[in-house]
Structure 1
Amino acid sequence: MSASGSSYSDRFRVLIRSLTGISLPQSKVVMIEQRLRRRVMAFDLPDTEAYLEQLLDGQGMEEELRIVIDLITTNTTSFFRESEHFDFLAREALPQRLAAAKGTRRPRFKLWSAAASEGAEAFTSAMVLAEAQRRGLQFDFAVLGTDISQRMLERGAEAVYAADQLSTVPPDLVKRYFMSSRHPSVAGKVRVVPELRRHVRFRHLNLMDETYPVDRDVDLIFLRNILIYFDQGDQERVVQRLASHVATGGYLVVGHAESMVVRLAGLKQIRPTIFQKV
């Protein structure tokens, strides 16, 4: 991007931050150019500066903005990523929350994957909870996955993954919760079984919104590896909003690079990355 286009670059960065909370440093300008190159070509424009000018100043560009958000957001995901969090879910969070619901005929455990990407975290959680049911615990569960990227949400809803993405999933769980087909059109791909998919739903949600259309008695929220892209003020506001959706005694779980970010009265740190609402 040329020096003459720096003003549009700055406006673009401000726009992305206001829409997504993601702070793009100037050093990421080259990365932005590379990711937007196809969109420049799609509009038959001479360069990125012309594209940004149309994006920022043009009318009827709402759909294009959604495409841009998809292109610049990071969607790194894998099954059982930071596996100790799922150990905590199975061994501590779930039993404690069910004990707190003692007397309820069949309690319902609610889990929210608040930066769900294409759904690996949500379906990992669902597998862990389904395994607890197999061990005899009597409860129902619901998993909500939200993300700002509509493209990622559509992938999550489809629940189709490349077979090599299951390398971190224990073999017995692969056999139990994924199915494959011999049809050439889906060679090398697997899909989450319907019995697990029915517990998981996906919804578009922007963490920068002032309110979230989510229940306020969620037992555990995963918000992992997303706060690092926000500035301090946005980090604090997002954590505060999310905490209002955690049931008393429930948990907020963040990524390992984010443990120092969560500083909120009412959230007690019980592990480096795990906070309980008191």
Structure 2
Amino acid sequence: MLSITDQEFKQLAEYIRVNYGIFLKKEKQTLLMGRLSNVLIEKNFQNFNDYFHYVVTDRTGDAIVTLVDKITTNHTFFMREVDHFFFFKEKVLPNLISRSKERDLRIWSAGCSSGEEPYTLAMIIDEFLGVDKKWWDAKILATDISSKVLDIAINGIYDNEGIATLPQSWKLNYFEKLNNDKYVLVNKIRNEVIYRKFNLMDVVFPFKKKFHTIFCRNVMIYFDKDTKMKLVKKFYDSTEPGGYLFIGHSESLDRNETEYKYIMPAVYRKEP
């Protein structure tokens, strides 16, 4: 394994923080070295300084894709932090639907990883609206910076263990069996989710309309405080009045530093 010097780590970590918001503390130096060593060996780099120069000068975009895939942790599963989904179904959806004048729901799953979160939301919405679903525009935007997990999400294929936590009715209505251990989501659910590669560190969000609900759970734990609060401000500006922000249970917002109103653990609302 190629070793990384303190200066090389500092240089690479700062680049990652500035461009992707991910804050790598000094104790992550060994982890970063381990995740990237094979890349350096494959590319015949002798040290991390040469690798860094390759990353910042590569015009194909391949180097950045590989770096992002290596440094991001994409651990998720269906029904993670399940109380959020119950609250979304029982409180948020009825409120949004009763206030909607155009019969549209604009939901954003930011940091969607391999698709479990946005697909869960799509199934909840489909079940909630029932036969009236055809009258609604309820597509979900799902974004991530990792190309690898987006490919998994787009395919919509999960193993038996992956869907074990889902209600039996969902397994029957929303999945088709591919083989003994693989299941694929039906098209009516897969087609409700629009996947895009997107960097939350972009200075300006390019969305024409604001969102009724934003899910950004277990993403900001990797950011320092300043980066997190700048992102939350962009989320706030992208949220419709009366809309909601869901973050991870291990995350919290300083109520003195955000305009969102606290509703319950990890759930916030923009005042109507």
Compute the TM-score of the two structures, normalised by the length of structure 2.
0.91
2:233–2:258 CA contact under 8 A, matched in 1: no
Q: Find 1:123's aligned residue among 119, 139, 147.
A: 119
Task: State the partner residue of 1:171.
Answer: 168
Task: State the partner residue of 1:30.
Answer: 30
The runs of 5 or more residues in structure 2 that have no matched partner are none
SS of the residue 1:134 aligns to: helix
SS of the residue 1:166 aligns to: coil
Task: State the partner residue of 1:114.
Answer: 110
Which deviations, in whole Å up to 9, do the C-alpha atoms of 1:78-116 show, x marking residues without a partner?
111101111111111010011112xx3x61111110110
Q: How large is the Cα RMSD of the aligned pairs?
A: 1.9
**Taking structure 1 as reference, are residues 2 and 40 closer, same or farther at Cα in structure 2, changes over 3 Å only?**
closer
1:55–1:64 CA contact under 8 A, matched in 2: no
2:176–2:186 CA contact under 8 A, matched in 1: yes
The runs of 5 or more residues in structure 1 that have no matched partner are none
The answer to which of 27-36 and 263-272 deviates more is 263-272
| Paired positions, count | 266
Are residues 1:181 and 2:178 paired? Answer: yes
Question: What is the one-letter code of the residue matched to 1:24?
Answer: L
Q: Distance in 2 between matches of 1:140 and 1:94?
A: 14
Which deviations, in whole Å up to 9, do the C-alpha atoms of 1:187-218 show, x marking residues without a partner?
52211110111110111111111111234321
Q: Distance in 1 between matches of 2:127 and 2:209?
A: 26
SS of the residue 2:138 aligns to: strand
Question: What is the one-letter code of the residue matched to 2:164?
Answer: S
Task: State the partner residue of 1:207.
Answer: 200
Q: Distance in 1 between matches of 2:138 and 2:16?
A: 35
Q: Distance in 2 between matches of 1:270 and 1:230?
A: 23
Give the 5 Å matches for 1:51-200.
Answer: 52-58=48-54, 59-60=57-58, 62-101=61-100, 104=101, 107-134=103-130, 139-182=136-179, 188-200=181-193
Give the 5 Å matches for 1:3-42.
Answer: 5-42=5-42
Query: Shift in Å at residue 268 of structure 1?
Result: 1.0
Runs of 4+ in 1 over 3 A off after TM superposition: 135-140, 260-266
Q: Distance in 2 between matches of 1:13 and 1:34?
A: 14
Between the aligned residues of both structures, percent identity stands at 29
2:78–2:166 CA contact under 8 A, matched in 1: yes
Task: State the partner residue of 1:220.
Answer: 213
Compute the TM-score of the two structures, normalised by the length of structure 1.
0.89
Question: What is the one-letter code of the residue matched to 1:109?
Answer: L
**Taking structure 1 as reference, are residues 206 and 249 closer, same or farther at Cα in structure 2, changes over 3 Å only?**
same
**Taking structure 1 as reference, are residues 265 and 87 closer, same or farther at Cα in structure 2, changes over 3 Å only?**
same
Query: Shift in Å at residue 14 of structure 1?
Result: 0.5
Task: State the partner residue of 1:275.
Answer: 268
Question: What is the one-letter code of the residue matched to 2:91?
Answer: E
Q: Distance in 2 between matches of 1:276 and 1:159?
A: 30
Question: What is the one-letter code of the residue matched to 1:217?
Answer: K
The answer to which of 78-87 and 53-62 deviates more is 53-62
Question: What is the one-letter code of the residue matched to 1:74?
Answer: T
Q: Distance in 2 between matches of 1:53 and 1:75?
A: 27
Which deviations, in whole Å up to 9, do the C-alpha atoms of 1:6-58 show, x marking residues without a partner?
21111011111112101111111111122112212211345xxx1x2222223
Q: Distance in 2 between matches of 1:190 and 1:67?
A: 28
